[in-house]
């Protein structure tokens, strides 16, 4: 049985009719839809076990704490982290990068350099800009070549004793470029730099083994991997987390507090101030269980095959330009239609019940490299089918004929 045939009935929202057509949801790179098991797990938590965590000895408090910490253990196993203390819950990828950038930013000195790439999401650019702004640090970007792959020879020339951080996406949210993060991390480590990988577009679609990547930090979001909004994960190598001062203060992240000073809690809680996303952690556990039941290798093969097929079908349409690698790509396909603004393309597709993203996709430097102000983007998940690809291509071809 095909993966989409196995999963489609698990997603209640896919039964919707949009503008008179069955919904074809092709925007999972922005936020994936949720299987029934995730929705039910969160509802069950609120109906039976809700309380605050780590603070109460009553039954509900202990049940909530157990569920919350069980989610941490589940995430640890999912990405094969060495220790549960290396898993910090955040509000999402953006928040996780912000936590790291704020903490490292305090240690930057004039002349230090942070290396990013030209295909980064703004979430992996702006926090570093803010961190560097008042410290006299410099941000440099690895250039792109060909269909949007990184120029690693240029990267080697950029590395120096001044390089403090190398921050890269695992998979581009626009081009679908799969970045050789293990190779980049190894080169950065030889130069003495810390490394952060944005895994927002990788974790939902492929097996991720953090020890084999070797990075110091890895971040991703729950809502892109069939889980709820409002929760993400920051993996931090234990020795590095131990050496960082938390940039955000409040309850939960402390051991003792005086009027003028405090001592920090143990890992991972020193980086989790305030009441955490408890119900969302329960939902994330259910999402991981769902993904693991399907098998991440199978998910990778399914979603990447859909993206390759979409790129091929769209490329064959006169007046349509497809961006990014043709074969080895993640589960996204960005494209443009001659004579039409990306927003007009998305609106016309929505009239046929097809949901795609349009705009600069929070990647304006990459849009400039592509020579466009924006693109339309189709992205795929476990419930999408080859028929969805065909419907997309047919609708896009109709746009060209209408001009």
Residues tagged active-site: 362
Reduced to 3 states, what is the DSSP secondary structure of residue 206?
Answer: coil
Of 95, 89, 55, 56, the C-alpha closest to 72 is 89
71 torsion bin: left (phi>0), alpha (psi -120 to 50), beta (else): alpha
How far is the first Cα of the chain from the last one, in angstroms, to the nearest whole number? 40
Q: How far apart are CA 149 and CA 354, in angstroms?
A: 29
- Quickly tell me which residue has 């490394």 as its tokens: 195
CB 277 within 8 A of CB 91: yes
**Could you write out the DSSP letters of every residue in 352-364?**
TTEE-EEE-TT-H
Tokens of 20: 């008179």
> Exposed e or buried b for every residue in 237-270, given b needs 16+ CB within 10 A?
beebbeebebbeeeebbbeeeeeeeeeebebbbb
């Amino acid at each position: 049985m095909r993966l989409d045939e196995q999963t489609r009935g698990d997603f209640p929202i896919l039964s919707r009719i949009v503008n008179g057509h069955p919904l074809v949801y092709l925007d999972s790179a922005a936020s994936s839809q949720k299987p029934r098991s995730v929705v039910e797990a969160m509802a069950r938590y609120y109906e039976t076990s809700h309380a605050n965590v780590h603070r109460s000895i009553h039954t509900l408090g202990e049940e909530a704490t157990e569920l919350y910490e069980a989610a941490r253990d589940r995430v640890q196993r999912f990405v094969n982290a060495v220790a549960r203390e290396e898993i910090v819950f955040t509000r999402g990828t953006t928040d996780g990068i912000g936590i790291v950038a704020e903490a490292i930013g305090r240690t930057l000195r004039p002349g230090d350099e942070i290396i990013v790439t030209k295909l980064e999401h703004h979430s992996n650019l702006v926090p570093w800009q803010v961190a560097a702004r008042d410290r006299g640090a410099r941000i440099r970007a690895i250039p792109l070549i060909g269909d949007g792959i990184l120029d690693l020879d240029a990267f080697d020339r950029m590395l120096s004793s001044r390089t403090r951080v190398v921050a890269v996406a695992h998979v581009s949210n626009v081009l679908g470029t799969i970045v050789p993060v293990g190779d980049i991390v190894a080169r950065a480590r030889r130069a003495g730099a810390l490394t952060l990988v944005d895994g927002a577009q990788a974790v939902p679609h492929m097996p991720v083994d953090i020890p084999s990547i070797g990075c110091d930090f890895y971040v991703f979001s729950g809502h892109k991997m069939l889980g709820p909004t409002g929760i993400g994960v920051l993996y931090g190598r234990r020795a590095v987390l131990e050496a960082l001062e938390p940039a955000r203060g409040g309850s939960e992240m402390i051991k003792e507090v005086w009027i003028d000073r405090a001592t920090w809690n143990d890992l991972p809680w020193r980086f989790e101030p305030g009441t955490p996303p408890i119900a969302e952690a329960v939902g994330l556990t259910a999402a991981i269980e769902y993904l693991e039941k399907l098998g991440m290798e199978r998910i990778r093969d399914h979603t990447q095959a859909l993206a390759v097929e979409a790129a091929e079908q769209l490329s064959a349409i006169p007046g349509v330009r497809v961006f990014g690698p043709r074969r080895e790509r993640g589960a996204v396909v960005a494209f443009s239609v001659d004579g039409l603004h990306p927003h007009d393309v998305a609106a016309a597709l929505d009239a046929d019940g097809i949901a795609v993203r349009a705009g600069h996709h929070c990647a304006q430097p990459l849009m400039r490299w592509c020579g466009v102000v924006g693109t339309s983007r189709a992205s795929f998940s476990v419930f999408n089918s080859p028929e969805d690809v065909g419907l997309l291509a047919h609708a896009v071809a109709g746009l060209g004929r209408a001009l």
